[in-house]
């Protein structure tokens, strides 16, 4: 039975651009169920960590997490992300000082409105960011707003925030899957990160990730996640 009147890729498209056959391993439903349950259980145990050990983390693990994140889909396959990593104490110190200054304004000088601060209250966060020095690695994910070509001209990237957001999620998942902990840290504004890390004008900081092992005895807020029926809607027929 022919399902597609307009198959992808068309013969003309294949003649103009390279394509390769998809490698896909079809599993039984029992295997799919087992893998899905095991993966959910592993990710359901993931928590954001704010107390890190200073125990070293091999660079190869950070590299592998970045490689994994870079498999994310992106608009027009532009891959508009840059993962900038450091384990240098001086760089981490500079980042901490700048981040705490911004967060001091946020928390103590009312740059965050009362509603925002009330929402954060159960987490107990404040302007102290010691973990930025103690965690063995900091990785800052930058969004590449546009490309700068060799001749200095600009070329637009598409769906940048969506693409970088997907890559960030995969990065977090990769770190947790290999046994590391992290925190999505966004000290608004974050322009200081571009200056400290020497990034060009076409890159803008998106999220900062301190990475390492949790400090033994670390505690996290006793929170629950929304159940499936609060985050998913299954539509059985057209609404109109």
Instruction: List pLDDT tens digits, range 106-121.
Output: 898 888 898 988 999 8
72 pLDDT tier (thresholds 50, 70, 90): very high
Question: How much is the pLDDT for 112?
Answer: 86
Q: Which residues of 4-34 are buried (b: 16+ CB within 10 A; e: fewer)?
A: eeeeeeeeeeeeeeeeeeeeeeeeeeeeeee
Our CA dihedral for 58, 134, 129, 81, rounded to 10 degrees, sits at: -20
The larger pLDDT score, comparing residue 49 to residue 239, is at 49
Query: In whole numbers, what is the pLDDT of the chain averaged over residues?
Result: 95
Distance between first and last Cα of the chain = 30
Report cis status (omega within 30 of 0) of the bond before 17. no
Region 124-130: mean pLDDT is 92
183-229 pLDDT, tens digit each = 999 988 999 999 999 999 999 999 999 999 999 999 999 999 999 99
| Sheet of 137-144, strands arranged across | 81-86, 137-144, 203-212, 181-182
Would you say residue 1 has pLDDT above 60?
Answer: no
Predicted TM-score (pTM) of the model is: 0.94
Identify the structural domains of the chain with CATH numbers, from first to last. 55-216 (3.40.109.10)
In this structure, the strands spanning 154-156 and 146-148 are antiparallel
Question: How much is the pLDDT for 228?
Answer: 97
36 pLDDT tier (thresholds 50, 70, 90): very high
Give the integer Cα–Cα distance in Å for 188 and 39.
33
- What Cα–Cα distance (Å) separates residue 27 from each residue in 31, 34, 138, 157? 6, 11, 38, 36
Question: How much is the pLDDT for 139?
Answer: 98
Helix (H, G, I), strand (E, B) or coil at 64: helix
Question: How much is the pLDDT for 188?
Answer: 86
In this structure, the strands spanning 81-86 and 181-182 are unpaired
Q: Token digits for 143? A: 């969004």
Q: What are phi and psi of 21, to 5 degrees?
A: -75, 135
In this structure, the strands spanning 203-212 and 181-182 are antiparallel
Whether residue 52 contacts residue 210, with contact meaning beta carbons closer than 8 Å, is answered with yes
Region 221-239: mean pLDDT is 95
């Amino acid at each position: 039975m022919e399902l597609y009147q307009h198959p992808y890729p068309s013969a003309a498209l294949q003649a103009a651009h390279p394509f390769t056959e998809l490698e896909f391993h079809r599993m039984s439903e029992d295997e799919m169920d087992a893998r899905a349950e095991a993966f959910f259980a592993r990710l359901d145990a993931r928590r954001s960590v704010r107390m890190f050990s200073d125990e070293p983390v091999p660079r190869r693990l950070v590299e592998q997490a970045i490689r994994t994140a870079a498999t994310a889909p992106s608009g027009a396959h532009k891959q508009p992300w840059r993962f900038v990593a450091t384990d240098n104490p001086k760089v981490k110190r500079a980042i901490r000082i700048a981040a705490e200054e911004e967060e001091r304004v946020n928390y103590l000088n009312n740059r965050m409105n009362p509603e925002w601060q009330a929402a954060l209250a159960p987490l107990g966060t404040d302007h102290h960011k010691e973990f930025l020095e103690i965690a063995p690695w900091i990785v800052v994910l930058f969004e590449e707003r546009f490309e700068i070509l060799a001749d200095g001209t600009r070329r637009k990237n598409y769906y940048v925030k969506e693409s970088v957001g997907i890559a960030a999620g995969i990065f977090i998942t990769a770190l947790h899957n290999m046994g590391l902990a992290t925190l999505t840290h966004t000290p608004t504004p974050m322009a200081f990160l571009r200056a400290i890390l020497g990034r060009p004008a076409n890159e803008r900081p998106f999220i900062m990730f301190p990475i390492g092992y949790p400090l033994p005895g670390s505690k996290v807020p006793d929170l629950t996640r929304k159940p499936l029926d609060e985050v998913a809607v299954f539509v059985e027929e057209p609404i109109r």
